[in-house]
């Protein structure tokens, strides 16, 4: 349930309304937009005397929220959330943020070379997997802690903040200390224990859409994180499993405007895992920006043919540089910059 309040509602009225809600064991979430204040109410709201609440002079309306996600929903939080990474990088405002780097960190030379090149082309953050979720247990599983150390070295050398995937709750403290954005991968989108634990951190979380998850399930995963207190979530559409097998996954472009309608959280797109093919990264990146995405996460490798993971979908630093130039025009066309 949400209670919409006039912008100039008195503090006393807010306190009285909140005390009624809290006496009834409701969870109360307060937000405001340019035109109104909103009190979101979570719990068995059927027991609340709605007429009494409507009787307060500062109350505009009381509405039911039928969606199961509350904190992640736009009804509870009408304004867009902007996730601040540092003084210069925010995700969800007018500037489109590009995260780039290899699928996996392979060695020092590779990660530093890629980091330097993507930075000079305009990437804002460096990606690179240290712990890799692989379909086969015999495939390269990532350099793990050594990979994290190499990411830190690349950050020291270039100043680029780092994004990498957390797979186990055992590594949370280490990631909290060393990583700037913690990625929860598609395969772990419904690992509720992991979601609840990262929900206790004060750290941005990149929440990838599950391989076969609906938008509602994805927003419920965000709700798990938010229910523990962490509201710094960036959603990432990375393609879903469909009957089509010409591409690795099917990029669900319609998810972008839909998320913007249903949620206040920023959404970025991963064209690399969606397509699984290097030459398709360019058109899908352009389409994502045209559809309103707040950013992109792109796999870039200095030698895609020799990559230990996802070489087929990785673009070269030269192709990335050209792509960044091309994206400027698309961003401009939708009133944004990159």
Q: Which residues bind Mn ion (CB under 5 A)?
A: 103, 310
Find the shortest distance in angstroms from Cβ 240 to ligand PEP. Answer: 10
Q: Is 115 in the site for ligand PEP (CB under 6 A)?
A: no
Q: Give least dist CB 299 to Mn ion, A.
A: 6
Name which of Mn ion, ligand PEP, none residue 185 binds, using a CB cut-off of 5 to 8 Å depending on partner kind: ligand PEP
Cα separation, 91 vs 113, in Å, equals: 25
Q: What does 186 bind: ligand PEP, Mn ion, none (CB cut-off 5 to 8 Å by kind)?
A: ligand PEP
**Judged by CB under 6 A, does residue 73 bind ligand PEP?**
no
Q: What, of ligand PEP, Mn ion, none, does residue 238 touch, CB below 5 to 8 Å by kind?
A: ligand PEP
Both tokens assigned to 141: 């599983």
**Backbone φ/ψ region at 121: left (φ over 0), alpha (ψ -120 to 50), beta:** alpha
The answer to whether 307 and 301 are in contact (CB under 8 A) is: yes
Residue 306's contacts (CB-CB under 8 Å, 6 or more residues apart) are none
> Please, which residue, 223 or 310, has the CB nearer to Mn ion?
310
* Nearer to ligand PEP (CB atom), residue 3 or residue 100: 100
278 or 310: whose CB is closer to Mn ion? 310
CA 58 – CA 30 distance, rounded (Å)? 15
Cβ of residue 69: shortest distance to Mn ion, in angstroms? Answer: 28
- Member of 102, 147, 185, 295 binding ligand PEP (CB under 6 A): 185
Q: Which is nearer to ligand PEP, 57 or 135 (CB)?
A: 135
278 touches, from Mn ion, ligand PEP, none (C-beta below 5 to 8 Å by class): none
Taking the C-alpha atoms of residue 331 and residue 334, their distance in angstroms, rounded to an integer, is 5
Which residues in the 44-63 window bind ligand PEP by CB under 6 A?
none
What is the per-residue binding string for ligand PEP in 271-310, x denoting contact by CB under 6 A? --x-------------------------------------
Give the tokens for residue 128.
């690179």
Q: Give me the residues paired with residue 27 across strands.
A: 42
**What are the tokens at 294?**
């707040």
Type and span of the H or E element at 31: strand 27-32
Nearest to 299, CA basis, from 325, 317, 324: 317
State the nearest-atom distance from the C-beta of 47 to ligand PEP, in Å.
41
Position among 37, 238, 260, 264 found at the interface with ligand PEP (CB under 6 A) = 238
Quickly count helices (H) and strands (E) in the chain: 11, 14
Which CB sits closer to ligand PEP, 1 or 115? 115
135 burial type by CB count under 10 A (0-12 exposed, 13-18 middle, 19+ buried): exposed
**Residue with tokens 């929440």, as numbered in its chain:** 207
From the list 105, 99, 69, 100, the residue with the least C-alpha distance to 83 is 99
Write down the least CB distance from residue 316 to ligand PEP, Å. Answer: 18
| Residue number of the CB atom closest to Mn ion | 103
Residue ranges in contact with ligand PEP by CB under 6 A: 103, 129, 133, 185-187, 208, 238, 270, 273
């Amino acid at each position: 349930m949400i209670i919409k309040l006039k912008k100039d509602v008195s503090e006393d009225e807010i306190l009285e309304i909140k005390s009624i809600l809290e006496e009834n064991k409701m969870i109360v979430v307060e937000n405001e937009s340019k035109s109104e204040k909103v009190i979101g109410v979570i719990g068995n709201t059927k027991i609340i005397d709605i007429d009494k609440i409507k009787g307060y002079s500062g109350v505009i309306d009381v509405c039911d929220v039928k969606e199961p996600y509350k904190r992640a929903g736009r009804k509870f939080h009408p304004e867009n959330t902007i996730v601040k990474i540092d003084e210069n990088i925010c995700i969800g405002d007018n500037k489109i943020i590009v995260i780039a780097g290899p699928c996996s960190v392979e060695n020092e030379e590779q990660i530093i070379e890629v980091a330097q090149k993507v930075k000079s082309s305009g990437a804002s953050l460096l990606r690179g997997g240290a712990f890799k979720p692989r379909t086969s247990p015999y495939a390269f599983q990532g350099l793990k802690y050594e990979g994290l150390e190499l990411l830190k070295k690349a950050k020291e050398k270039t100043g680029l903040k780092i994004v990498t995937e957390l797979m186990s709750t055992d590594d949370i403290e280490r990631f909290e200390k060393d990583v700037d954005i913690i990625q929860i991968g598609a395969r772990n989108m419904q690992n509720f224990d992991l979601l609840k634990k990262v929900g206790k951190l004060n750290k941005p979380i990149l929440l990838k859409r599950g391989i076969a998850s609906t938008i509602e399930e994805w927003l419920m995963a965000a709700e798990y994180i938010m229910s523990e207190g962490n509201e710094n979530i960036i959603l990432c559409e990375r393609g879903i499993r469909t009957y089509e097998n010409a591409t690795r996954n099917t990029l669900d472009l319609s998810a972008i405007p839909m998320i913007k309608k249903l949620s206040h959280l920023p959404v970025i797109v991963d064209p690399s895992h969606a397509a699984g093919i290097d030459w398709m990264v360019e058109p899908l990146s352009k389409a994502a920006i045209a559809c309103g995405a707040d950013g992109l996460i792109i796999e870039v490798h200095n030698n895609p043919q020799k990559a230990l993971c996802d070489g087929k979908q990785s673009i070269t630093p030269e192709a990335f540089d050209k792509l960044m130039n091309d994206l400027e025009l698309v961003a401009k066309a939708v009133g944004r910059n990159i």
